A and B are shown apart, each in its own frame.
Chain A
Amino acid sequence: MERFLWAVEFLVGVGVIVSSLEFLRARAHYRSGGLLSWEVLRYRLALTARPVPGELTERMFSDTGLTAIVAARIAGAAILLAPAVWLGEPWRIAGLGLALLATLLLYLRSPYGLDGADQMMLIVLVGAFVSHLASPDGWLREAAVWFIATQATLAYLAAGIAKLVSAQWRSGQAIPAILSTRAYGNPLAHKMTRDRRWLAFAVAWSVIGFEVLFPLVILVPHESARVAFLGFGVLFHLTNAVVMGLNTFVWAFAATYPAIAWCGGEF
């Protein structure tokens, strides 16, 4: 299980570093006058709206404070990139704890702007952190890995079922419509799928099929089939990254794959 856990932590570590650097690049939006200014967002929560904790958070979430939080997140994640033989258990607990604490503070700062990749990275960090707190031969270590794998499987299945019940998805119309948007679109992919309805239909059903069938990855008895399925998953996220700009999903969801592979082997 150790090498599977190391792979989980390595991949989420890369994802956390990329998303943190992106956060730093976009921090003007968190400053005074920005869309996510703390002067306004602190009133989202009753706790931070009060004067005393509010003033404390003013300092914590100032430009300097926020930069320090993100830097701590990067430092914690960087520890996870080192081979396990270089930095042992205490280091990994410290790295995961630091990255996790900083991530929780960013959630407190603003849930607006967070996406599914952020949520999956939080899940992986928590699962990996708990697995290290557990005794090596205890049930909790295995449960933590199952937690990561089950959340990932639920993510694909829920996404697949939601698409399956949608007429827009079943007809393929959803594909060019999504690809036309500024946030997730791509002019070339939009034109290709708008002008070729069969292509939009094929893409839509490929996505639905992959997501709905994803739970089979744990149930299939053959390791080669599992590896092929997960390989298709990586390809799926890489395509989404290139076409839709969903780059951090690659790292966040690929980080769950070693956990899924381990659970599939144990099932």
Chain B
Amino acid sequence: MPAAVLEVFAGAPLAAWLALSLLNQVAGGRWRWFARLTASGFIPNWRFFAPRPGTSDFHVLYRDLLISGEMTQWVEAPAAEARPAVAALWNPGKRPNKALFDLCTVLFETGRGLDHTRLMLSTPYLAILNRVNSMPASSLAACRQFVLMATYPDRPQSEAEPLFVSGFHEL
């Protein structure tokens, strides 16, 4: 096969990738098939912190239903690591922080369009449930429930906003 043809084969994916990247900036989220494609993470969305900047902190809380029928207090699942003083060079906590942000965002957004059964089988739901269920539990606990909360630190007067409440799951 001539080198020129091989070069076309190697160059075409670059052109396609660039075209899809451009399309994602101007029409991202408009079509379901395209949203599925961008969910892979390969097609970049370059609209950093815009047009609606992320101004909230997400929190995952859980509580247990005891065998006696009583309910425990809500407990916050530990957040990702705090940012180190040398974060300009070394910031390993940003990946789990971003993962929690991504999962909460997808769960909150898809949660509005799915019935409860399908939602409970979605990856973000299962990932957060798996994390919450790995937290220690009393031997008297029968089921666990979690809630996603958003707080707005720049608005100290505003209350924490519940974004999503799960069902109860057996421990």
Give chain A's interface residues, CB within 8 Å of chain B. 18, 21-23, 25-26, 29, 32-37, 39-41, 43-44, 107, 110-116, 118-120, 122-123, 126-127, 130, 133-135, 138-140, 143-144, 147, 150-151, 154-156, 158-159, 162-163, 165-166, 168-169, 174, 176-178, 180-185, 190, 194, 238, 241-242, 245-248
Q: Give the size category of B's interface with A.
A: 35 or more
Q: Are B44 and A162 in contact (CB under 8 A)?
A: no
A166 contact set on B, CB distance < 8 A? 50-53
From B11, B18, B46, B51, residue with most partner A Cβ within 10 Å: B46
| Residue of A with least CB distance to B125 | A40
Q: Are B3 and A177 in contact (CB under 8 A)?
A: no
- Contact string, B145-167, partner A, CB cutoff 8 A, digits 1/0? 00000001110000000000000
Q: Is B113 among interface residues, defined by CB-CB distance under 8 A?
A: no
Q: Are A43 and B14 in contact (CB under 8 A)?
A: no
The residue from A22, A39, A184 contacting B92, defined by CB atoms under 8 A apart: A22
Q: Is B110 among interface residues, defined by CB-CB distance under 8 A?
A: no
> Would you give the shortest CB distance from B161 to chain A, in whole angstroms?
14
B49-94 contacts to A, CB under 8 A, are 49-57, 79-81, 83, 87-94
Q: Are B57 and A115 in contact (CB under 8 A)?
A: no
Give chain B's interface residues, CB within 8 Å of chain A. 3-4, 7, 10-11, 14, 17-18, 21-22, 25, 39-42, 44, 46-57, 79-81, 83, 87-103, 123-124, 126-128, 130-131, 133-134, 152-154
Q: Are B99 and A110 in contact (CB under 8 A)?
A: yes
A-B contact pairs, 14 of them (CB 8 A): A23-B92, A35-B99, A35-B131, A36-B99, A36-B127, A114-B95, A140-B10, A143-B14, A144-B14, A159-B46, A163-B49, A180-B152, A241-B89, A248-B91
A127 contact set on B, CB distance < 8 A? 14
Does more than half of chain A's interface fall in helix, strand or loop, or is it mixed? helix
Task: Knowing A41-B127, A154-B21, A182-B79, say if A122 contacts B42 (CB, 8 Å).
Answer: yes
Task: Knowing A26-B92, A116-B44, A182-B79, say if A247 contacts B134 (CB, 8 Å).
Answer: no
> Would you give the shortest CB distance from A191 to chain B, in whole angstroms?
11
Expressed in whole angstroms, the Cα–Cα distance for A52 and B40 within the complex equals: 22
Q: Are A26 and B21 in contact (CB under 8 A)?
A: no
